[in-house]
Amino acid sequence: MTGLTVRLLAEKSNIAFSTLVRLESANDQIPASNVETLKKLIKTFDTLGIEFIGTPYDRPGVRLKK
């Protein structure tokens, strides 16, 4: 949705590249992570116009903000 590579997303989010790769490999599970790391990612996605919808257990997804 953003066109960013994993490396660029890690840089924009100010998190380690290896951390982002680990989060991506969670395979349909809720990834174990530090709350601050997840907050950084959510803030970055928000800045890029991406909104999280649903919950991890009920129709999770993302959409572009209007």
Domain boundaries, the chain: 6-64
- Between the CA of residue 38 and those of 4, 61, 66, what are the distances in Å? 17, 15, 23
Span 55-64, pLDDT tens digits: 878 998 999 9
pTM of the complete model: 0.80
Task: Specify the residue for token string 């993302």.
Answer: 62
- pLDDT classification of 45: cutoffs 50, 70, 90: very high
Query: What is d(CA 43, CA 38) in angstroms, rounded to the nearest whole number?
Result: 9
Average pLDDT, the chain: 89
Span 18-34, pLDDT tens digits: 999 988 887 767 677 88
- pLDDT classification of 13: cutoffs 50, 70, 90: very high
Cross-strand bridge partners of residue 53:
61
